[in-house]
Amino acid sequence: MKENKRLPDKTVERLSQYRRNLLTCVANGKTHIFSHEIANLLHITSVQVRRDIMLIGYSGTLRKGYDVQELIDLIGEIIDSQFGQRVAVIGVGNLGRALVSYFKGKRSKLLIVAAFDTNAEKVDRVYAGVHCYHYDQMAEIIKKENISIGIITVPASEAAKVAENLVISGIKGILNFTPSPVNVSPHVFLEEYDMITSLEKVAYFVKKNDM
Ligand code: ATP
């Protein structure tokens, strides 16, 4: 695949899911896998799997399918940055702390290296190995620590302000975990994940199925 070609964001999401499942296959001693097996693991069609994998310029063999390790390596080359990317969490409340702890050691190419908060009791504390700085130091630390991704876990009412500040501080991508959508300039990649909406959606369908 050409370096400068951008993949559709749903494809990137699926590549990340493929890799996670392929790593489990490796751990179980599986060396080759067919598209329909990957499809079954992710509850999608094998046509979709083949299309995604063709998009990254890989093909398996008819007899054995895809080489699991080769596919893992290729997905890594495409979605990981060669020298890794550094991440900051803004707001170390319950959610921010959970994320920092959960993410620790999960991805070698994606490191949470700083946290920011306005609460004096949290500033200068270390959460799961991550130092919490005062929010006012954000621009300075983002530059100094070469941080390119920000995760927003402040209260919803603060989200817009924090996003704006992150953009001004030179951040390249934002994952907004608050239920309040934010605006960013077009050169910043924004992903929003509202857990409450997701849970309410599940609850709605559970209710419907019970009726
Ligand atoms: P806790 O009880 O530990 O504060 P919480 O999950 O109830 O946790 P929230 O009210 O959701 O906390 O706030 C999340 C975190 O965001 C808190 O640590 C709060 O101090 C911090 N925070 C609030 N406003 C900002 C801001 N503008 N910039 C950075 N951090 C902020």
Distance CA 211, CA 207 (A): 7
Residue extents of the structural domains in the chain: 9-78, 85-196
CA distance 174 to 171: 8
Beta bridge partners of residue 132, listed in sequence order: 115
pLDDT tens digits, one per residue of 97-146: 999 999 988 877 899 999 999 999 999 999 999 999 999 999 999 999 99
Question: Ligand 1 centre and the CA of 130: distance in Å?
Answer: 16
CATH class of the region 9-78:
mainly alpha
Kindly report the pTM of this predicted structure. Answer: 0.85
**For a pocket test of ligand 1, which of 99, 116, 118 has the largest count of ligand atoms closer than 8 A to its C-beta?**
118
Ligand 1 neighbourhood includes 162 CB (under 6 angstroms): yes
Contacts of 114 (CB under 8 A, 6+ apart): 88, 89, 130, 131, 132, 133, 141, 142, 145, 147
Q: Which CATH class is domain 85-196?
A: alpha beta
Give a three-class secondary structure readout of 183-201: CCCCCCEEEECCHHHHHHH
